[in-house]
Structure 1
């Protein structure tokens, strides 16, 4: 083979090598580019498969695929996330118009849904609007938690109650839950004596004043209209005369509580 033939062949091989190397580089670049483009898609798919963990897992939107059942702290696949929120079937509402519909007024709805309740600020006493089963449970809890010191307080005269609340607040044991106090209040209005079995033998008027005065906001005046509103909401409305007497005594208790808080 001559020198020129060998040289020509070498040049041809070099050219082929350059073409092969170029093709390889193009292929590598295409592969890298394809990886950069596909990776986000894989990331999105991975995101759909992973669910939130922890006690707040149920707070997300059910369509986002990121919500699980609240409080379990386990995984929930995104595609099946339900985004649970709001009260369950066994949950209990408390407070103004809880679990009630004002459209029921006059048609088997709660008493307070009807007209006739004075327009007066009642603050914490709004828990009187709780469903009956909530009030019943609060009554049961109040009786179960009642201590000997509390029994002693509810057996005091009205003047002694006022003195204890205003001068010895920190050491005075009372039922301070508005819901429990109003559950007991309702029971006494209906003619029951729920505290008697625990040893409370005081007169009903004093017990009612103590329960209502303690349940009320410290800074919201208890008036005759307050008593009429609350007793009407509870389904045992008082006459204006009786409401005025109770309001005066309950207001004295409220003022004593306010003074005791300093």
Structure 2
């Protein structure tokens, strides 16, 4: 195809924590801090599916309208995260008639999950021009997720759930809170756990110290002229909650900084 050159007085990258560091790397930028692409946090998530005797139509109304933040200082946040039936069905290990029979109870299902404020970090490397994420779930975080499964199961049984499908490969369904508590004594390695994430953060961390951060506190890239980042790459650490509003706040703050310093960025 044709090469197109766009000349701008200010370039703002907001490609997300996977693609922003890759974009900078492909463009030839090398951060003096050595931190570009490092410090990848993910908020590892697991889900439970609770089945009730009555219709609960958990898919109606606002998505994630309910949260439990009681254990947030312990790195766990719980929420109802109901999915459309087609997406939920893909996440089950069941197949054929067994899956069809299970999905007949869709209106009686509550899909709930938790995110863990991870203590380990990974990195994003650019290989043949494409980003590749590398991340290993820490044993402490895997243990915290298992504890979260127990806590969330207790909540769901207290709400009237009759059985719970677990995120551990090969694990039997739960039928009461006592069975849930016994999970704490079981060997459930991280390799058996279905872990997902949609919260990638930290690969171009901000800070005042250019030897330890990729950008300044406003997202302006250290040692690069008129280049900013305004996505979750900026987070110095995982924040333990859905990052959407924080990203919006940082982007708004960065925009205000550009407006207040228009001569510097646009002359």
Shorter-chain TM-score bucket reads under 0.3
Larger radius of gyration: 1
**Larger relative contact order, structure 1 or 2 (CA cutoff 8 Å, min sep 6):** 2
Q: Which has the higher strand share?
A: 2
Q: Normalized against structure 1, the TM-score is what?
A: 0.22
Q: Which has the higher helix share?
A: 1
Q: Normalized against structure 2, the TM-score is what?
A: 0.22
